[in-house]
């Protein structure tokens, strides 16, 4: 029997911080898992190093489901982003190993190909409507079939999702940046720029928008209703998601499709959203929702209720997560869309990935496993730097959801 012989945890900041787990078996096969929890990353690194590595050494790497159950039930303290991200890293690395041992790409282990490629959406943004329109134009020129549109609210600034440099990087400061927020100004402004995008470019592509947890249920209902003519692919994270019930209020008022789940970690976090058909797309990701083993379970539940997938894919999810996501997206029947932002060039110096972009879609390579390699020598050139996501404050100074 092959055994898990080594388990190494790497923390590096090539462009942004990534925590990476590498397992090595007694047969010399390696597997990679992403363990990045942006802004709280060292907690997961310690969870792995101090609490899971000692449990993994000597275990049979082929027993993916058993190890998942052992780590989940064995923790006793259930769910939560830190635990589920640590378990995800182990699980993803074990799928990578299983693929390499079998000589098959991971999507083949998941049931094989359901589609030729994985449709993605890119992030267009602008400091005003004109700049946003130019950016949408650029994405359409690059061949994207789906584009998310965000613009800064005039006279307020600080709006979520507006790219400053080449790469969107909200976690840019050594202490959390504080950004102003004004709900009424946003509600006055945002429907107009979404309409302007449709007016200029028409309906021959999918248009998405991320509200980023900023509205109350009734505000989100008003927004969804107001933008119905834009025929959005989805309105993302309309309200803070802890209260699954609040989606019923939004749902009762609008046919704008709803997407949620990037901050959620388990099937129980999305259970009512799915079974009561309160959402259209579930955005849980490989890295934050317990790995391929658990995410596939969520996607299967979703399929029963015609909820489709729309996995989180911002650049604070490493190339290991992106590859794992594209393998799963390639295989599942109820795939919807995959979020995709190209990683910074420095990230590509550390992670070599076989995932490629063509014609608005991502494709996995046919290499066995996930098709990603980690260059630890290159990673040494990018030592860890603490960075935080911003926080939002209303104009009266009180804390809002970022």
DSSP state of 292: H
Beta bridge partners of 33: 21
Determine whether 212 is an active site residue: yes
336 binds ligand D8T (CB under 6 A): no
Report the partner that residue 170 touches, choosing among Mg ion, ligand D8T, none (CB closer than 5 to 8 A by kind).
ligand D8T
Q: How far is the CB of 302 from ligand D8T (least distance, A)?
A: 18
- Which CB, 170 or 336, lies closer to ligand D8T? 170
Q: Which whole-number Å values give the CA distances from 132 to 127, 129, 139, 314, in the listed order? A: 7, 5, 11, 19
Helix H or strand E segment including 394: strand 391-394
The CA-CA-CA angle for residues 124, 127, 131, to 5°, reads 60
Among residues 14, 99, 170, 354, which is the contact residue for ligand D8T, using CB under 6 A?
170
Report the partner that residue 135 touches, choosing among Mg ion, ligand D8T, none (CB closer than 5 to 8 A by kind).
none
- Which CB, 68 or 168, lies closer to ligand D8T? 168
Q: How many CB atoms lie within 10 A of CB 47?
A: 22
Q: How far is the CB of 307 from Mg ion (least distance, A)?
A: 17
What is d(CA 150, CA 132) in angstroms, rounded to the nearest whole number?
A: 7
Determine whether 374 is an active site residue: no
Q: How far is the CB of 142 from Mg ion (least distance, A)?
A: 21
Dihedrals phi, psi of 196, to nearest 5 degrees: -65, -35
Radius of gyration of the chain (CA): 20
Binding span for Mg ion by CB under 5 A among 46-54, 164-172, 178-186, 204-212: 204-212
**Ramachandran region of residue 257, left (φ > 0), alpha (ψ -120 to 50) or beta?**
beta
Q: Of 206, 212, 213, 288, which one is the catalytic site residue?
A: 212
Site for ligand D8T in 265-304 (CB under 6 A): none
Q: How far is the CB of 97 from ligand D8T (least distance, A)?
A: 28
Tokens, residue 171: 């976690």
Among residues 210, 219, 316, 329, which is the contact residue for Mg ion, using CB under 5 A?
210
- Going by C-alpha positions, the residue among 221, 225, 235 that lies closest to residue 149 is 235
- Which CB, 12 or 153, lies closer to Mg ion? 153
* Chain contacts with ligand D8T (rule: CB under 6 A): 170, 210, 212, 262, 312, 314, 316, 339
Residues of the shown chain interacting with Mg ion in the complex, contacts defined by CB under 5 A: 210
Active site residues per annotation: 160, 212
């Amino acid at each position: 029997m092959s055994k898990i012989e080594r388990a190494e945890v790497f923390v590096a900041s090539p462009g942004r911080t990534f925590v990476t787990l590498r397992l090595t078996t007694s047969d010399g096969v390696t597997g990679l898992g992403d363990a990045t929890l942006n802004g709280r990353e060292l907690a997961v690194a310690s969870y792995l190093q101090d609490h899971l590595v000692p449990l993994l050494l000597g275990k049979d790497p082929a027993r993916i489901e058993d190890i998942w159950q052992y780590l989940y039930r064995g923790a006793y303290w259930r769910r939560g982003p830190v635990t589920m991200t640590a378990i995800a890293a182990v699980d993803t690395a074990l799928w990578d190993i299983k693929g390499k041992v079998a000589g098959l790409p991971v999507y083949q282990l998941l049931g094989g190909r359901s589609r030729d490629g994985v449709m993605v959406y890119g992030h267009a943004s602008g400091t005003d409507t004109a700049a946003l329109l130019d950016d949408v134009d650029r994405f359409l020129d690059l061949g994207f079939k789906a584009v998310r549109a965000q613009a800064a609210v005039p006279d307020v600034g600080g709006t979520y999702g507006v790219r400053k440099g080449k790469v969107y990087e909200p976690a840019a400061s050594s202490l959390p940046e504080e950004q102003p927020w004004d709900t009424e100004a946003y509600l006055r402004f945002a429907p107009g720029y979404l309409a302007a995008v449709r007016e200029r470019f028409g309906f021959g592509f999918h248009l998405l928008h991320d509200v980023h947890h900023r509205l109350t249920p009734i505000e989100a209902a008003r927004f969804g209703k107001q933008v119905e003519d834009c025929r959005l692919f989805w309105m993302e994270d309309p309200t803070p998601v802890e209260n699954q019930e609040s989606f019923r209020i939004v749902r009762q008022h609008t046919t704008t499709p709803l997407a949620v789940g990037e901050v959620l970690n388990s099937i129980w976090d999305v259970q009512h959203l799915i079974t009561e058909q309160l959402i259209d797309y579930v955005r849980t990701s490989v890295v934050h929702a317990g790995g391929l083993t658990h995410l596939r379970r969520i996607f299967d539940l979703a399929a029963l209720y015609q909820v489709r997938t729309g996995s989180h894919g911002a650049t604070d999810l490493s190339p290991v997560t992106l590859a794992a996501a594209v393998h799963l997206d390639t295989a599942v029947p109820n795939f919807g869309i995959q979020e995709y932002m190209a990683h910074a060039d420095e990230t590509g110096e550390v992670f070599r990935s076989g995932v490629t972009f063509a014609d608005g879609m991502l494709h996995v390579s046919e290499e066995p496993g996930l098709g990603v390699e980690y260059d630890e020598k290159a990673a040494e050139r990018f030592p860890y730097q603490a960075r935080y996501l911003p926080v939002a404050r209303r104009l009266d100074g009180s804390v809002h959801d970022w």
